Structure 1
């Protein structure tokens, strides 16, 4: 919560002064699991994979390409192994 002094100046102007909400300030809640099995397989299981890490692979790959872009490299074959990076550097020379 942002706090101000009597003159209207913020006194919580950095993260050390800013009060973050903690678990003690949150309302209590109850988790109600809901299962909806799929009829498409005998187990009723659905796949989600690693949905939370989907953006990590292209982000790291683009960072590697950016790191060697000064050599004129605009593409490196995936997976981004040391051999593939080395091969791209050798081809650019």
Structure 2
């Protein structure tokens, strides 16, 4: 793994329970490397993450599970980040 952790990244997250939407600054400490894609002579890495946040709506406070991916290209640079699932 070449991407240095922890990673701080902002995501706009909607609570699956109350649908309250808010910006969260996630600190990702553990990443699982999934693939190494060769693009010409450079490498692109894909990492999976699992994180948890609490809904910021004081009437809800639901524990939200977040799953997603971080893409690294070039080395030690986040190309993109996406959340693929919220529960």
Give the TM bin, normalised by the shorter chain: under 0.3
Q: Structure 1 or 2: larger strand share?
A: 2
Q: Structure 1 or 2: larger helix share?
A: 1
Higher relative contact order (CA 8 A, sep 6+): 2
Task: Tell me the TM-score normalized by structure 2.
Answer: 0.21
